[in-house]
Amino acid sequence: MEKIINRYKGKGFKLTPQRLAILHYLEGNTDHPTAEDIYQEIRKKNPTVSFATVYNTVQALRDRGELLEITIDPERKHFDPNPQPHHHIMCTNCGKIDDIFIDYSSALKVPENISDEFQVLGNHVDFYGVCKGCRARKTNN
Amino acid sequence: MEKIINRYKGKGFKLTPQRLAILHYLEGNTDHPTAEDIYQEIRKKNPTVSFATVYNTVQALRDRGELLEITIDPERKHFDPNPQPHHHIMCTNCGKIDDIFIDYSSALKVPENISDEFQVLGNHVDFYGVCKGCRARKTNN
DNA sequence: CTATTATAATAGAATTATTCCAAGCTAAGA
DNA sequence: TCTTAGCTTGGAATAATTCTATTATAATAG
C-alpha cells in the first residue's frame, strides 16, 4: 500500500480513497478483470463508488501507461495492471486469460509492403486455446 | 456474383437479396469494415435493410468460418471477409487496418507453464504503428 | 493548520454497440 | 405451386461505456 502511495504521490495523480481501493485491487492482480469486475470488487468495501469513477480511473491509468487495455476478448475489454509489453492466451471455452512473458519481436518481421506504409511501433500476440479445466469437463460430459 | 451464389447454394444458407448485397460488398473487401460501415453501404441500394440483418448475417458467416471478427481496435469490432488466418496492423492515429499474410506460428512457441495449462489452437498478431499519411500530416502541423 | 483551487467523485442521463423478439415474409426444395 | 424453415423487420431490450452538472476533497501554498 505504501508502495502504491509513493508511486503516485506528487505526480499530478490525486490519490483519493476510491482510487486507492482500485489501485490496491489491481496491484499484482493477474486475473485481467473487466471494468465490471473492478466495480463489483471495490463496492464491497466502498459501497458508494460509482461506475464512472472506475472508468475514469482506469482511463487515467491507461493514459499514464500504468495499465494495459486487453482486446483479446471480443465481448468486452479487460485490464492488465502489468504495463510491460507481454502477450495473452484466452480459453475459448471459459474465457480465462493468462499472461505470456516472451518477447517475440525479433521473429515478428512485417513484409516490405507493410513496412513501406507503416512505422511499426509495437505488437501484441493473442493465443487462443482450451484450458485444462475445460478439457477435463468436456471429456466427462 | 455468380461465384457468391455458387458458394452458398444448397448449403443451408438462404440467399436473400439482403444477404447477397452484404456478401457482394464484402467480396474481396480489404477495408475491415465495422457493422456500421456495412449497414451504411448496404442501405444505399437496399434502403429498408435493418441493422439486425447485418448483425445476423455477419454472425452466420462467422459461425460458418467465412468471416473473421477482428479485435485489434478497442473501440469496435471490425470484420474481415478473408477467413484464412492472417494478421493485422492498425494505425494508432487514423485507425486504418491492413492485412499481414505471414504465418508466424513456428516462431510463436509458448512457455511450458502455458502449454501445460492450455491446448493452444491458434494465434493472432496485432501490430500497431503510424501510417505514411499520418506521419506526413504530423510533420506538416 | 487553514484556505484555496484544481481535480476527482457522484448520480443519473446519454450514447453506442449489439442482441432479442414477435410478426410477417420468402427462398428453396418437394 | 406449396410448404415451411429460416430470414427480415422495427422496435424494444441489454450491455458497455461516456458525458454532464454538481458536490466533494486532496494537494499545495500561505
Tens place of pLDDT for every residue, chain B, 141 residues?
A: 678 888 888 888 999 999 999 999 999 999 999 999 999 999 998 999 999 999 999 999 999 999 999 999 988 899 999 999 999 999 988 899 999 999 999 999 999 999 999 999 999 999 999 999 999 987 655
The answer to whether residues A22 and A45 touch, using CB atoms and an 8 Å cutoff, is no
Q: How many CB atoms lie within 10 A of CB B47?
A: 7
Between CA B103 and CA B109 the distance in angstroms is: 13
Smallest Cα–Cα separation from B117: which of A26, A96, A108? A96
CB contact under 8 A, B127 and A118: yes
The confidence score (pLDDT) of residue A75 equals 85
Is B141 in a helix, a strand, or coil?
Answer: coil
Neighbours of B76 (CB within 10 A): 12
Across the 141 residues of chain A, what is the mean pLDDT of every consecutive 10-residue run?
82 91 94 95 91 95 92 91 95 93 96 97 95 83 49
pLDDT, residue A140, reads 56
> Would an 8 Å CB–CB cutoff place B134 in contact with chain A?
no
3-state secondary structure B50-102: CHHHHHHHHHHHHHCCCCEEECCCCCCCEEECCCCCCEEEEECCCCCEEEECC
- Closest residue in A to B121 (Cα–Cα): A129
- Predicted local distance difference test score (pLDDT) of residue B74: 86
Q: Which pLDDT score is estimated for A9? A: 82
How far apart are the C-alpha atoms of B79 and B20, rounded to whole Å? 17
Nearest nucleotide by C1' position to the B19 CA atom: D7
Are B76 and A77 within 8 A, CB to CB?
no
Give buried/exposed letters for B109-122 (b at 16+ CB in 10 A, else e). ebeeebeebbebee
How confident is the model at residue A10, as a pLDDT?
80
Half-sphere exposure of A137 (CA within 13 A, CB side): 7
Asked if A31 contacts A79 with a C-beta cutoff of 8 angstroms, the reply is no
Q: Which three cell numbers stand for residue B36?
A: 456500421
Put simply, the answer to whether B71 touches A71 (Cβ < 8 Å) is: yes
Q: How far is the CA of A33 from the C1' of D20 (A)?
A: 27
Pick the closest to residue B88 from B137, B50, B123, B61 (CA basis): B123
Model pLDDT, residue A38: 96
Phi and psi torsions of A122, nearest 5°: -170, 170
A9: left (phi over 0), alpha (psi -120 to 50) or beta: beta
Q: Is B129 on the interface with A (CB under 8 A)?
A: yes
Query: What pLDDT sits at residue B124?
Result: 95
Please enumerate in sequence order all residues whose Cβ is within 8 A of that of B136, keeping only pairs 6 or more positions apart, or say none: none
| Residue A118 · residue B87 · CB < 8 Å | no
* Separation in Å: C27 C1' and B5 CA: 13
- Give chain A as a 3 state SS string: CHHHHHHHCCCCCCCCHHHHHHHHHHCCCCCCCCHHHHHHHHHHHCCCCCHHHHHHHHHHHHHCCCCEEECCCCCCCEEECCCCCCEEEEECCCCCEEEECCCCHHHCCCCHHHHHHEEEEEEEEEEEEEEHHHHHHHHHC
State the pLDDT at residue A96: 93
The C1' atom of D11 and the CA atom of B15 lie apart, in whole Å, by: 25
* Contact status, residue A129 vs residue B123, Cβ threshold 8 Å: no
